[in-house]
Each structure stands twice: as C-alpha cells, then as structure tokens.
C-alpha cells in the first residue's frame, strides 16, 4: 500500500504546485498583457488546467482515501477529503465565472471582461464565494439573510493575493495608466 500513498502524495504535491504557479505567476503575467490578450489566452489555458487539476484532485483523493482505509489513518483521510473538496468548490464557486470568461459573446474590451479577469486574480475565488455562497446566519432571528456585497468587499480585498505578491517591474506604471 505504500505505493498508493506515494502516488496520492505526488498528486497532492503536483496539484498544489500547479495552483501556486497559476495564481502567483501565470494569471498575473496574463493580466499584465492587457485584457484582450489575457482573455484570448485564458480559454486554452483554462481547458488544459481543468483536465490536469481535476484529474490530480480526484486521483489524489481516491488514492489517499484508499491508503487511509488500509492504514486506519484518520489524518490521511482528512487530507484526502480536503484535496477532493476542491472539485465541488470549483464547480460551485469558480466555474460560473470561468464560463463567463470563455463565453464568445463577452466583449474583450468591456469593463465586464476586465472585472471578471480581475476577480479571479484578486481574491482567488473569495469574491465569487461572497456573491454566490455566503448568506449570513442571524443567531438572533434564527433565519438566513442575504449579505450586502458592500459589507464584505473591503475585507475580502484585504485578503487578496496581489497584496502578498510584489508587482513585477513596470506593473506599477501600467496600473496607474
């Protein structure tokens, strides 16, 4: 069973490495080329990444759960479940925005295209989560109420990825223009 655990760990490591690369390198570089080019490049990149990332997450989850079952290891099972959880998260939170980005009807010169590309870059899906999946539970009334997007947006932006990554030389001048 050791080989299954090694394969599961390899899947998780490659998945994490690819996710870090896309968020820290590829998408910021794509955005620095302008909205039109970024949008044209997004479609083919998205399709290839989807196949790779989904395969790694599912295979890693299945092999991790198999190893956890064979070794009676609850921590390993937890890690495998977390790796597999990226699939439903992606389907619920990220997929709607990505479908809008690859829609041929989207005008590459529009503000909407710029916004959709920047939502993925600035919040790693947190803003999409805010809009689609974040109703607030009110303990005083025991009911679910909708959250106004302006209530949370400043806090979400404070957690944004670009604040953690320094801009490449020349990006400052482009962002001011």
Delimit the domains of the chain by residue range: 2-176
Whole-model pTM? 0.65
Q: What pLDDT does 125 receive?
A: 44
The tokens describing 14, both together, are 């490659």
Average pLDDT over residues 3-7: 92
Q: Is the pLDDT of residue 36 over 70?
A: yes
Q: What is the mean pLDDT of residues 6-24?
A: 93
pLDDT in tens, 118-134: 875 444 444 334 333 33
Q: What's the pLDDT tens digit per position in 74-113?
A: 999 999 999 999 999 999 988 998 999 999 999 999 999 8
Q: Within 72-123, where are the H helices?
A: 74-84, 86-89, 95-102, 111-123
pLDDT score of 44 more than 80: yes
**What's the rounded Cα separation, in Å, for the pair 10 and 15?**
8
Residue 167, pLDDT > 80, answer no
C-alpha–C-alpha distance, residues 103 and 78, integer Å: 36
- For the chain, the average pLDDT equals 75
* CA–CA distance, 19 with 42 (Å, rounded to integer): 15
């Amino acid at each position: 069973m050791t080989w299954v655990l090694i394969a599961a760990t390899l899947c998780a490591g490659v998945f994490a490495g690819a996710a870090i690369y896309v968020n820290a390198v590829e998408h910021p570089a794509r955005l620095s080329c302008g909205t039109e080019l970024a949008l044209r490049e997004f479609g083919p990149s998205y399709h290839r990444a989807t196949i790779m990332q989904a395969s790694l997450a599912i295979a890693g989850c299945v092999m991790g759960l198999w190893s956890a079952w064979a070794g009676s290891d609850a921590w390993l099972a937890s890690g495998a479940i977390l790796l597999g959880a990226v699939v439903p998260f992606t389907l619920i939170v990220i997929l709607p925005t990505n479908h809008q980005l690859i829609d041929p009807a989207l005008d590459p010169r529009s503000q909407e295209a710029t916004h959709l590309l920047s939502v993925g870059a600035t919040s790693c899906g947190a803003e999409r989560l805010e809009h689609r999946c974040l109703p607030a539970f009110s303990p005083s009334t025991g009911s679910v109420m909708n959250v106004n997007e302006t209530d949370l947006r400043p806090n979400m932006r404070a957690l944004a990825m670009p604040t953690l990554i320094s801009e490449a030389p020349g990006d400052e001048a482009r962002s001011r223009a």
